[in-house]
Amino acid sequence: MVSVVRLTSQALVLGLSLLMPVGALAQDDGEAVPTLELEAERGCPARPDLVPFTSRAVVGLPGSGWVVHQAVIPEKKDTFFRGVEADRAGVKPVPPETDARKLGAPDPSVPLWVFGKADAAPCRAKPTTWWAVRMGTDEDRKTYLMAELEMECDVLPPGRLSGTPVALRQKDAPTGCKLRRANDNSTGKAGVGLPLELVDFVPERACEAPECTRLWERFSSTWTDGSAVHDLTVSWMERKGKKDPCEWATEDLTLLLLRPPGALAPAPLKGGGPYFGTLYDGTGPRTVLSRHLGVLYAHDVAKPKAAPKAFRYASPTDEDLLTAKRTLSPCKKR
């Protein structure tokens, strides 16, 4: 004999209610009906608290990977680099028993949310091992508090700016917020015209081949709603009869431009440096990020004419200063 168990609608609802959070039941004609309540995405914060990353090799640590900036250690509290050690670069471990907050570290109870691979959701991370890093030039040398992280996601290894992670420091997960890297790049060789929407931002120059050459390079992030960010470099090189590219008269132009949602054309952003990426959510681009000489800049898409907020995370070395100028010149000595 086969026994059959029949569940009434009331019994089914009772069983589901044990698996659902309170408030997940609605009334329909006097009978409870299960409903699903989905939490709305928080999106990207209007004023992001950004946390930059630096490769281990740059700060003098062995192995591949990243360390995250936490604070600039005040000179009065810097017990790591004294005397002649303060005059050169170095890295030292912070003892585990040391309270990092006394060195300027932020509240450890507020988690970090790391953006690694392009267009991927951020993951939670927490500092594990702390380091005191001395870096900079004789004119500008500081000690930075940095940390290794325990992360719940994979990030790309050091090697290219396009893979450098960045994090947000905030209590709740920035659900729906992602980081878009440059995904539309092009290069203009000699004689190739500029993209039409960028022509008006490049001044006219009397430059005729073969004595003069104009080259350009563009890195962009684009969205389906027509919004975009463009990083443009243009170089004019005048030979004046000389064969060595290092002897050519060179003029360079760099621009960071934003076309926000609904705009017909892009406009230059104020300040900043080379394009890093853009934080965006369901409403479109929210914060454009650029980076230059140890400073990460945050450009508010809602206020494109405002100066960006700066997050300093390192002091540039002499080599950084020598190679900071962006140019498309083939001169190998730059």
Residues 1-24: pLDDT tens digits?
Answer: 433 333 434 443 344 444 444 444
Q: Are residues 311 and 214 in the same domain?
A: yes
3-state DSSP assignment of residue 13: helix
Q: Are residues 273 and 206 in the same domain?
A: yes
Residue type at 318 in one-letter notation: D
State the sign of the Cα–Cα–Cα–Cα dihedral 314, 144, 88, 90.
Answer: negative
* Residue that is last in its domain, among 156, 175, 194: 175
Q: Are residues 199 and 97 in the same domain?
A: no
From CA 82, how far away is CA 172, in angstroms rounded?
40
Is 332 inside any structural domain? no
Structural domain including 98 reads 50-175
Q: Are residues 74 and 96 in the same domain?
A: yes
Q: Are residues 149 and 89 in the same domain?
A: yes
Q: Are residues 206 and 270 in the same domain?
A: yes
Q: Residue 268 is encoded by which pair of tokens?
A: 């230059």
Lowest mean pLDDT among 60-74, 110-124, 181-195: 181-195
- The tens digit of pLDDT for each residue in 169-222 reads 999 999 999 999 999 889 887 778 899 999 999 998 888 888 999 999 999 999
Angle at 196 between CA 188 and CA 258, to 5 degrees: 95
Is 197 inside any structural domain? yes
What residues have CB less than 8 Å from 95, skipping those under 6 apart?
Answer: none
What is the C-alpha end-to-end distance of the chain, expressed in Å? 90
pTM here is 0.84
Q: Are residues 138 and 156 in the same domain?
A: yes
Is 170 inside any structural domain? yes
Q: Are residues 99 and 194 in the same domain?
A: no
Q: Are residues 162 and 91 in the same domain?
A: yes
Is 43 inside any structural domain? no
